[in-house]
Amino acid sequence: GDRYDDDVRRMSVVLFLLGDGLVTIPGVLYSGSVAVLKLCDVRRILNVDYSTSLVLTVFVIGATGALYAILGGLKAVAVSDTINGIGLLIVGITVPLLGLALLGGDVISGIGIITTNHPEKLNAIGSASDPTPFGTVFTGMVFANLFYWCSNQYVIQRTLAARSFAEGQKGVLLSGYFKVLVPFFMMIPGVIAYHLYGPNLGSIDLAYPQLVKDTLPVWALGFFLAVLLGAVFSSFNSLINSAATMLTLDVIQPLTKATLSDKALVSIAKVCSVGIAVISLGIAPLLQYAPEGLWQIIRIFTGFYNIPIIAVVLVGMLTTHVPAVAVKLAIAFHIIAYGLLQFVFKDAVDLHFLHLYAILFAAEIGLLLLVGQWRPRQVRVIVQTAPVDMTPWR
Q: Is the pLDDT of residue 198 over 90?
A: no
Length of the chain: 394
Average pLDDT over residues 240-263: 79
HSE of 51, CA atoms in CB hemisphere, 13 A: 6
pLDDT at 73: 64
Calculate the alpha carbon distances from 315 to 8, 135, 152, 218 in Å.
Answer: 13, 26, 16, 53
Question: Band of the pLDDT at 203, cuts 50, 70, 90?
Answer: low
pLDDT tens-digit series, residues 297-320: 777 788 888 899 999 999 988 888
Question: Band of the pLDDT at 294, cuts 50, 70, 90?
Answer: low
Contacts of 136 (CB under 8 A, 6+ apart): 352, 354, 355
pLDDT at 358: 93
**Is the CB of residue 192 less than 8 Å from the CB of residue 113?**
no
Q: Is the pLDDT of residue 70 over 80?
A: no
**Spatial distance between the Cα atoms of 142 and 71, rounded to a whole number of angstroms:** 37
User: Considering the chain, what percentage of its residues have pLDDT values greater than 90?
Assistant: 19
Contacts of 92 (CB under 8 A, 6+ apart): 181, 184, 185
pLDDT at 359: 94
Average pLDDT over residues 167-180: 89
pLDDT at 170: 93
pLDDT at 290: 65
Among 43-57, 253-267, 326-340, the range of highest mean pLDDT: 326-340
pLDDT tens-digit series, residues 346-387: 888 888 888 999 999 999 999 999 999 988 877 666 666 778
Handedness of CA 202, 148, 393, 390 (dihedral sign): negative
pLDDT, greater one: 151 or 292: 151
Coil, strand or helix at 164: strand
**Spatial distance between the Cα atoms of 188 and 96, rounded to a whole number of angstroms:** 7
Three-class HEC string of 186-201:
HHHHHHHHHHHHHHHC
**Spatial distance between the Cα atoms of 346 and 92, rounded to a whole number of angstroms:** 38
Looking at every residue in the chain, the average pLDDT score rounds to 83
